[in-house]
Amino acid sequence: MRIFYICSYGGCASTMICNFLSQFYKVYHIHSRVPPARLCSVRKTKRAKKYEWFRYGALLNKKQRSMVTVIYLYRKPSMSLLSKDGWGPTHFSNLSLDNKKMRRFHSKDNSVRLEYSKTEKDLLGLNNFFKNYVFRNINKNYRIHCIKYETLWENLELIFNKLKIPKEICDKFPKKYVKELDDEKKEIKENLEKKYSKMEKCMDLLPPYFLIKPRR
């Protein structure tokens, strides 16, 4: 059976995509912030007890690797951090963050996200997470399919074709849902756009889909 590793830092519709693809394939939702040099199996997280981390020492052989497709899904932090799935103690733990240091941000209340948006440092390490998958060429014996959330729906046919997923499955993909932001979330978004401006400008320059080939 074909296997998908869907990697993201959360808030990128990755849960929805995992749920959709799991109707047809075996799917793992990965939150490890560093992709393995050589493709490996996965292990359970400490808090959620779900298979969401790479098991770096458990390498896959050539036949096993041929069954796995690795996807890195990314989205601008100014929107991903507003998602219900991109925040909270369980999510922070899945991202391998120190929950003691992040304790003051555990609540999913908007006031807490507003406080975070006003801090200078990227305490969640999203920029580093993004660079690890996109720019550091860590992968040695497998490919990474990179997909931009913002242009996903406009390029579904292209992306599914690149992933070698049949059109009849593509046609069943959920419609895009756009949620209106209230005034408080708009303020958070504006602050996050400033906080992650360099990262988001970099994302703007990337195509809807691109492939990172193995480093030789």
Q: What is the pLDDT of residues 123-180, one digit of tens each?
A: 999 999 999 999 999 999 999 999 999 999 999 999 999 999 999 999 999 999 888 8
Answer whether residue 207 shows pLDDT above 70: yes
Of 85 and 200, the structure prediction assigns the larger pLDDT to 200
pLDDT (0 to 100) of residue 16: 94
Q: Strand, coil or helix: what is 78?
A: helix
Both structure tokens of 139: 């992968």
Residue tagged 């609540």 (tokens): 107
Mean pLDDT over 114-121 rounds to 94
Give dist(CA 194, CA 200) in Å, integer: 9
Summarised one tens digit per residue, pLDDT across range 60-112 is 999 999 999 999 999 999 999 998 888 988 888 888 898 888 899 999 899 99
Q: Are 8 and 124 in contact (CB under 8 A)?
A: no
Give the residue from 56, 90, 77, 89 showing the smallest Cα distance to 125: 77
pLDDT (0 to 100) of residue 211: 97
Q: Are 6 and 28 in contact (CB under 8 A)?
A: yes
Query: Domain tally for the chain?
Result: 1
- For residue 44, the tally of other CB atoms under 10 A from its CB is 12
Summarised one tens digit per residue, pLDDT across range 7-32 is 999 999 999 999 999 999 999 999 99
Of 45 and 40, the structure prediction assigns the larger pLDDT to 40
Give dist(CA 89, CA 168) in Å, integer: 38
Give dist(CA 107, CA 114) in Å, integer: 11
Q: How would residue 47 be classed by pLDDT, with cut points 50, 70 and 90?
A: low
Residue tagged 């889909």 (tokens): 209
Structural domain of 88: 3-212
